[in-house]
């Protein structure tokens, strides 16, 4: 089946031959795609909402993959047992929610050999948590799909040195590769911080320290951007 550029990029991060648990599977697009193509021998498709899970069941049956894809109703990784999957795929949620999902099923998560993650927001929060818990980023992708910017990563267990704060924001592999979309990532980051700064300057409260900190951050990111251009 044909996937969107966002989902195709996520699939490219899944190690061939692995069994995945796709959390928040919606229509089970990723499990069906990887099992149809032979990239994965089998998969678990999990969703907390009955409607999307019913759509996943229908899609899986229509693809003739009911014997290879197990559709489950459950919250995050709570419906997955140790040893059932090699890795997890979690796409389309905010970074803090992904942290919550991983921490809520900590033992299951720590038994996995990888996690493919596509945070919709606050990716830096997620990256920092991964490193704090003894994981690190092995690979990353930046993608523009239908005019929207997406970032994704493959995290694996194995403690490495903590990253500088700024690398949590943009991703260590993205920086190492000087990804062609990294400039856009930094521009989006600066736009967000700029809006916050504008709001603070209009505030009647004494927020001078916060304003100065944000101005320093924006100056830093301008310098980083200059290194890429």
Average pLDDT, the chain: 96
Q: Would the pLDDT of 65 be above 90?
A: yes
pLDDT at 58: 97
Q: What percentage of residues in the chain have a pLDDT greater than 70?
A: 100
pLDDT at 57: 98
pLDDT at 159: 83
Q: Would the pLDDT of 1 be above 80?
A: no
**124-168 pLDDT tens trace:** 999 999 999 999 999 999 999 999 999 999 999 998 889 999 999
User: How large is the average pLDDT for residues 80-85?
Assistant: 97
Confidence of residue 217 (pLDDT cuts 50, 70, 90): very high
SS3 track for the chain: CCCCHHHHHHHHCCCCCCCEEEECCCCCHHHHHHHHHCCCCCEEEEECCHHHHHHHHHHHHHCCCCCCEEEEECCHHHHCCCCCCCEEEEEEECHHHHHHHHHHCHHHHHCCCEEEEEECCCHHHHHHHHHHCCEEEEEEEEEEECCEEEEEEEEEECCCCCCCHHHHHHCHHHHHHCCCCHHHHHHHHHHHHHHHHHHHHHCCCCCHHHHHHHHHHHHHHHHHHHHHC
């Amino acid at each position: 089946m044909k996937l969107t550029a966002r989902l195709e990029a996520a699939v490219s991060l899944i190690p061939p031959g692995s069994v995945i648990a796709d959390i928040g599977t919606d229509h089970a697009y990723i499990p069906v795609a990887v099992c149809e193509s032979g990239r994965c021998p089998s998969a678990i498709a999990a969703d907390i909402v009955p409607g999307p899970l019913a759509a996943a069941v229908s899609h899986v049956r229509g693809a003739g993959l009911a014997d290879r894809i197990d559709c489950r109703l459950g919250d995050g990784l709570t419906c997955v047992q140790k040893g059932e999957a090699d890795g997890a795929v979690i796409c389309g949620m905010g970074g803090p929610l992904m942290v919550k999902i991983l921490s809520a099923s900590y033992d299951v998560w720590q038994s996995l050999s990888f996690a493919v993650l596509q945070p919709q927001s606050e990716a830096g929060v997620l990256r920092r948590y991964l490193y704090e818990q003894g994981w690190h980023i092995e690979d990353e992708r930046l993608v523009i799909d239908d005019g929207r910017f997406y970032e994704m990563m493959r995290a694996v267990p194995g403690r490495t040195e903590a990253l500088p704060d700024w690398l949590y924001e943009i991703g260590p592999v993205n920086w190492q590769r000087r990804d062609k979309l990294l400039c856009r990532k930094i521009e989006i980051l600066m736009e967000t911080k700029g809006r916050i700064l504008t709001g603070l300057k209009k505030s009647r409260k004494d927020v001078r320290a916060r304003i100065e900190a944000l101005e320093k951050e924006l100056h830093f990111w301008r310098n980083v951007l200059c290194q890429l251009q």
